[in-house]
Amino acid sequence: MKKLVCLSIGLLCFWAIPAQKLKVNTIDKFTQFVFKETTEESFGTDFINNFRFTFKLKYSEKQYSMPAVITFGKQVQYDENSGIALLLDDNSTIRLYTHYSGLSTPIPNFKGEVYFYSFKTEFFLNEDQVSKLRDHKVTDIRIYYMDVDGVYDYKLKSKKQMLIQRMLKLFD
């Protein structure tokens, strides 16, 4: 019985560990460019504000990008000044701007009721930003959008603070 309980707990712990993987790892046969893409991961499940930031990392010919979906419990608008700021464990920040603008899209449930709104965007990272993200944990994320309050801050749980570091290691 003890072995069964220990095995069950071990399996639960194994499944609870977030596993980052490469979803795409190919070489273009015409250009010989390397294309890599990670699986999707998420920051935040804030049920009070219905917040979630889902993203993946992409690499192609010395260009890093972060396709993302920002979800809130209210409809918000984004413009060229909107985006995110990542607070690192050395108290420095990395500011990334969205390359798309517009209103977040309603997500209806099976009854047609809308509780969530999502916005798909993409952020591009330069070599300096990638280097800082490789060396430091991300402790907080701030979302910038067009609204009266205009920002939303989310503190990352300790197990998520090294997520981007682990994802970037997949590109090595």
pLDDT (average), residues 79-83 = 91
52: Cβ–Cβ under 8 A, 6 or more apart, which residues?
42, 43, 44, 45, 46, 69, 70, 71
Rg over CA atoms, the chain: 18
| 128/92 Cα distance (integer angstroms) | 13
pLDDT at 17: 47
What is the number of residues in the chain?
172
Q: For the whole model, what pTM was predicted?
A: 0.80
Q: What are the chain's domains? A: 19-169 (2.60.40)
Output 50 or 10, whichever has higher pLDDT.
50
Instruction: Tell me the pLDDT tens digit for each residue of 19-39.
Output: 578 888 888 889 888 899 888
Task: Give CA separation, 59 vs 24, 37, 137, 155, in Å.
Answer: 10, 6, 20, 27
Give residue-wise pLDDT tens across range 38-60. Answer: 888 888 766 666 788 999 999 98
What gap in Å lies between CA 118 and CA 63, rounded to an integer?
Answer: 26
DSSP secondary structure string for all residues of 155-167: EPPGGGTTHHHHH
